[in-house]
Amino acid sequence: MSYCVMPGCPQPQNPATGKVCQSCGSKLLLKERYRPIQAIGQGGFGRTFLALDEDIPSKPKCVVKQLFFNQGQTRHIKKAEELFYQEAVRLDELGHHPQIPTLLAHFEQNQWLYLVQEFIAGPTLSRELKERGAFKEAQVRQALADLLRILAFIHDRQIIHRDIKPANIIRRTGAAGAGEGQLILIDFGIAKLLSATAMMQTGTIIGSPEYMAPEQTRGKVVPASDIYSLGVTCLHLLTGVSPANLYDEGRDRWIWRDFLTADKLVSAELGRILDKMVQAATRVRYASAAQVLRDLEPLPSPAIAPSPSPATQSPPRPVTRSPSPQPVSPTSAPAQPIKTFKRAIGNLFSLMAGQSTPDETPDILTSEVGIDYTKLRDLLARKKWKLADEETRAALCQAVGKPPRGYLFEDDLAKLPCADLHTIDRLWVKYSDARFGFSVQARIYEGCGKNYGTFCDRIGWVTYRPAVPYKGIKFTLTAPIGHLPSRVWSGGTKWWRHAEAMANRLAECETNESQPS
């Protein structure tokens, strides 16, 4: 099929070999060479078409971008033509970068301006996000590094993109070794050209509002404006949430961490970089892509936990760093034969009663000191969070030989039997869909730089020791990640050290289990 690009054509579809539009009589070939076959996009000042290059035997695909003005805007066409040719020279230079579409042609036909660029096969990051869900930190780090190098390249040549967003980033597909998987930044020059033309009209803003830097909304752009848009793009990829919902206007701050899922938490290092990229004030924001790259590389060791918010207050007192514990994975310690049999019978009766369990994996209720964790499991399975929290306290105390409503100190936590600690943690993680649990809290604590005040802020706890034990605790699955189990069992004059002591014990248990017997 051929597609007529004449604005206002009532029937643009035409035969594949046609030379003239059957509806409006306009030429179908552009520059006697490029045959548009499909409309693929339209904006305020232009349209985009998929086309074939008929001068080449294989007739490769290309992208044709048409700039036109609606009624009442034609007085700017002469100035637009001047800017068009100036911009084409710049696009020709940019096209020599492997992650920028090559400029193939620029010309005027029937008083409309055209750019022809290389066609990039592959999905946009917007499409990937929709089909695969939120990105993990490693994916965002790689994308950020790739795109920052492109920005450094174009900014050195005095070009500002102005419209960075997931929909303008394509992951190239094709033959292995031919750039497959590369991120390609598209719509180069178009945003610049249209912006330059539109800026002749006071108050006209070009770009996508959700990703746009504050100064850009006022008609001013600097290289840091692209840095801001790229930062917002990363926040969108990490959370899967529209940027419009990631900023709290009432508190005048980004709240993107609130939307991270437990399996896609972010290290403190990357969090600090992203926070600086999306600062409203240009004096506080990164001024160049090179500055961001210096902080991003070399990559730090992966610490998968939420990073502190810039507005977070310091804790009551700093905590001395110790080697970072690694996340605790569920163990596969064998259950006792009788308990395994009882569990199987319990599942059978549940199925006969028409009930279902949260997942098909049998719970491993192992204890080194003879504790029966059936009650804790059942409370968590029924989402009885407060009762489960109380049962957790009783189990912890029993595991170290204390009364059920006692308190645990640092040295008590250091003696917790690993099998019991893992059982309690696995149950919390499983039945909360990985939102709650001691291992979740440990990862968050590490990601906050072992800063107890920041840690409390991230998981929704008050930083002081409340007179009422459960003050501020929410027994609901919508509570912040890591909010439960509570700390009602922590005791001593240095009670706040429970977070580090628990993290250390988890790390020790993990290390011990990894040692050969």
Interacting residues of 454 by C-beta distance below 8 A, sequence separation 6+ = 308, 309, 312, 314, 315, 448
Residue 188 phi, psi (nearest 5): -70, 145
Per the structure block, which two tokens stand in for 272? 């600090």
Asked about 163 being catalytic, the answer comes back as: yes
- Dihedral sign (CA 3, 4, 7, 11): negative
DSSP assignment string, 476-491: STTSPTT--S-STTB-
Q: What's the burial of 96, exposed, middle or buried (CB within 10 Å: 0-12/13-18/19+)?
A: exposed
- Distance, CA of 509 to CA of 514 (rounded, Å): 9
In contact, 182 and 193? CB cutoff 8 Å? no
Interacting residues of 498 by C-beta distance below 8 A, sequence separation 6+ = 408, 410, 413, 487, 490
CB atoms within 10 A of CB 121: 12
3-state secondary structure 167-220: HHEEECCCCCCCCCCCEEECCCCHHHHHHHHHCCCCCCCCCCHHHCCHHHHCCC
- Distance, CA of 419 to CA of 219 (rounded, Å): 61
- Distance, CA of 449 to CA of 443 (rounded, Å): 10
Among the listed residues 55, 92, 156, 163, the single catalytic one is 163
DSSP assignment string, 351-363: HHTT---SSSSPP
Compute the residue count for the chain. 517
In sequence order, the β-bridge partners of residue 309 are none
Q: Which residues belong to the active site?
A: 163
